[in-house]
Amino acid sequence: MKQLLIVFLGGGAGSVARFLLSKWFNNPSSGLPYGTFLANVLGSFLIGIILGYFYKTNTISQNTMLLVATGFCGGFTTFSTFAYESHIFLKNNDFLSFGIYVLASIILGFAAVFLGMWLVKTI
């Protein structure tokens, strides 16, 4: 039960952070979902740092991992919103934005995880 509460708290904080980021960075006039994109890349970078630090030092507790990696990063990043926004691009026949958004999200998401883990490894 304690672990469920820890994930719940982290997920709630991550969801609020994503909501605020979307409010600040999503541009209704251009339709480009910069907030979602930024949340996914930053969340990928953060989980890379967290997991990299855990693997390097083996000092992060299971509860901290649940709070930050599973909870916060899980609530902060959003595959469902990414998929929906991609669908909107296709629905509007905006294939260029669709391609750029999908490829950039996937490539930079992976790169951010690897960069976070690499940074922790080299420090």
Q: pTM of the entire structure?
A: 0.89
Give the chain's length: 123
Q: Note whether residue 40 is domain-resident.
A: yes
Q: Note whether residue 20 is domain-resident.
A: no
Q: Note whether residue 30 is domain-resident.
A: no
Model pLDDT, residue 8: 97
Q: Note whether residue 16 is domain-resident.
A: no
Q: Note whether residue 15 is domain-resident.
A: no
31 or 67, higher pLDDT = 67
Average pLDDT score over residue span 80-86: 93
Domain range spanning residue 52? 36-122
Q: What angle do CA 62, 64, 68 make, to 5 degrees?
A: 125
Model pLDDT, residue 55: 86
Q: Is position 77 annotated in a ligand binding site?
A: yes
Q: Is position 35 annotated in a ligand binding site?
A: no
C-alpha–C-alpha distance, residues 56 and 107, integer Å? 24
**Structural domains counted in the chain:** 1
C-alpha–C-alpha distance, residues 36 and 26, integer Å? 8
